[in-house]
Amino acid sequence: MSHPTAPTGLLRRMTSRSPHEQHRSATPLELFFDLCFVVAVAQAGVRLVHAFAEGHFGSGVLGYFLVFFAIWWAWVNFTWFASAYDNDDVFYRLAVLVQIAGVLVLAAGVPRAFDDGDWAVCIAGYVVMRLAMTCQWLRVARHNTGAERATALKYAVGLALVQVGWFVVLFVPDGARLSLFLVLAAAELSVPLVAERGFHTPWHPHHVAERYGLFTIIVLGETVTAATIAVQEGLDEHEALGELLSIAGGGLLIVFAAWWIYFAVPAQERLTSMRRAVQWGYGHLLILGSAAAIGAGIEVAVEQVTGQAHISPVAATGAVTVPTALFLFTSWLLQARHFKRDGAEKALMPVTVLAVLSCTFLGNWGVLAAGLVMSASVAIGVSLSARPDSDTLRKP
C-alpha cells in the first residue's frame, strides 16, 4: 500500500520493502518530486528553443542533453531507491526535500550554462541532489547486514567519488570539459551496475513502471503547453493563423498519439530481471528527453512562422518530427515490440517513424502531417491488436 500523507515516525529503520507488495502506487511525495523536477526540464526546453531559433542546432542539442542527463539521472536514482526503501519517516522526507531544492538550484543555473558556458550553479545543484542520495544509502547500510549492506555502501562510495569528479569539472579548461562530462556520465551510469553485483535491491516492478509512466505524462504535458502557445500566437498573428493552428492541431495529435502508444503495453511485465530493468530504465533517457524536446520543437515551429526564429520551415518542422520519431522508435524498441504477435504489428512502428521523418520536408504543414500520421498509426495498431489470435482461429 502507498504511504499515508503523515510521516510514520521521526527515524525508522530503513529496511527493504517487498517487491510483491499489493496495490503499490506512487506517494504524494513522489508526485511532488516529479512536478519540481519538471521545472528543470522546462528550463532546459526553453534554452533549447532559443538555441534552435538562432540556428545553433549542435550546441543547443549538446547543452540540452547534458542538462537533461543530470535531471533524469537524479530522478532515476531516487525512483528506484524509493521503490525499494521508502520508509516515509521524517528524515527520509527531509532528504527528499533537499533533493528537490537541489534540482531547483540546477534549474536556476540552466540559462548561465547555455548562454555563457558557466556550469557552476548547475553542478552545485546536482551535487546537492546526489549527496542527499548518498545519505539515504548510508542509512540503508546502517540498518542492514551482509550483501545488502555491502551493496548500499558501494552505492554511497560510488556516488561520493563521482561527485568529487563533478567538482573538478569547474576547474578544468573549457576545451577539456566536454570529455570530462562524458567520462563522469559514464561513471554515474556504472555505479548501479557495480553496486548491484551480489545483491539486487528489491524494487517493485509495477511501482517503477507507474513512476516512469507518470513522469512521461508530465513531460508530454509540456507539448500541450506549447500547442496552447501556438493558438495564442495565432490569435495575435492573423496573417499566419492557418499555419499556427495547423501546428497547434498537429502538436495535440502528436502528444495524444504518443501517450496512446507509450501506454499500449504493460511495461511492468518486461521488468523481470536486472538486465531487462537496466535496459528499460536507462533507455528512458531517450524516451523522456525526446518527449520534452517535442514541446520545445513546437515552440520553435511557432517562432519560425511568426518570424521570431531565423531558420527555414524545414528546419523548424524537423525540430518537432525528429524528437517525435526518436520517441516512437525508443518506445517501440524498449517495450512495444516485445508484445507484438506478427510481422504486421512489429513493422507498424518502424514504418511510422519513417513516415513522421518524411513529414519534415512539408515545411510549415509538416507538424500537422506528422500528427495525422501518428493518429493513423494508432488506429491501425488498434485494428491489428483487435484481431483474434491465430491459435483461436484454428480452434473448431
Instruction: State the pLDDT at residue 390.
Output: 47
Cβ contacts of residue 142 below 8 Å, gap of 6+? 14
What is the amino acid identity at position 126? Y
| Contact of 306 with 240, CB cutoff 8 Å | yes
Residue reference for cell 550483501: 147
Helix or strand run (H / E) with residue 382: helix 366-385
CA dist 132 and 81 (Å) reads 12
| Contact of 57 with 51, CB cutoff 8 Å | yes
Cβ contacts of residue 69 below 8 Å, gap of 6+? 185, 285
Nearest alpha carbon to residue 327 among 354, 358, 294:
294
Cβ contacts of residue 354 below 8 Å, gap of 6+? none
Report the Cα–Cα distance between both ends of the chain, in Å, rounded: 45
**Distance of CA 316 to CAs 34, 92, 322, 360, 364, Å?**
29, 45, 10, 9, 8
| Contact of 169 with 181, CB cutoff 8 Å | yes
Q: What is the mean pLDDT of each run of 10 residues along the chain (396 residues)?
A: 56 88 91 91 89 89 92 94 93 95 93 87 94 96 94 96 93 88 95 93 94 93 76 69 87 94 90 90 95 92 87 94 97 90 90 97 94 96 82 38
| Contact of 373 with 356, CB cutoff 8 Å | yes
Instruction: State the pLDDT at residue 1.
Output: 43
CA dist 106 and 71 (Å) reads 8
Instruction: State the pLDDT at residue 6.
Output: 58
Nearest alpha carbon to residue 86 among 25, 147, 149, 23:
25
CA dist 335 and 267 (Å) reads 6
Instruction: State the pLDDT at residue 232.
Output: 75
Retrieve residue 164's grid coordinates.
568529487
Q: Give the 3-state secondary structure of residue 166.
A: helix
- CA dihedral (139, 144, 145, 147) positive or negative: negative
Instruction: State the pLDDT at residue 395.
Output: 36
| Contact of 157 with 131, CB cutoff 8 Å | no
| Contact of 305 with 364, CB cutoff 8 Å | yes
Hey, which bits of the chain come out as E strands? Answer: none
